[in-house]
Structure 1
């Protein structure tokens, strides 16, 4: 059972698009709400995109950028807090966290795709 769980987590970190798709399909089948399922899949798979970007950077560059990644996440949360405060004059923490988390999905999913392409080109050129 431990091997199965570790295999699932390793696959989700290695291929976060698969994790997003599986969460989306399972949620659509159980709730029949596509909009809710899409948002839940984004929220759940964000952590997998963050981890995969970290591990790809470690593989490509040979060092960890975890501190930089954490600072980017905190910076996005800070920026969303300031923007929300400027627009609404009152900070609704739930909306700020949700907005920052979904922005991190966009940021790290784009980073994942770019890093995978860079990794492929690097591997092809090194052959």
Structure 2
């Protein structure tokens, strides 16, 4: 009887230690992580006010609202276009005008090594310099 206790005693302790060492299922690991928020090219939120300056120096004021709608205004504040926008990635911002049947227009966006934020028109190839209005 003493031999049995001495053989099974350490084995039972090892088995208990092995069970205790096994990690329990992490309930947080079972919950899918939220997708990271997509940001504008400058790393900030998409929603906000922007100056978009074309190659000829013309300024367009862009108002991107948190609800996914936008308004483009000229320098005098006159609304020239409204619709919805979608920030597909920090390198792609898409606009769909409110006009019936308007196609979605996606602009390539980047902040260059020189620190300048540029947006390229998918139709004309024109480049706009974008400045966030604080």
Same fold at TM > 0.5: no
- TM-score for the superposition, normalised by structure 1: 0.25
More contact order relative to length (CA 8 Å, sep ≥ 6): 1
More strand by share: 2
Whose radius of gyration is greater, 1 or 2?
Answer: 2
TM-score normalised by structure 2 residue count: 0.24
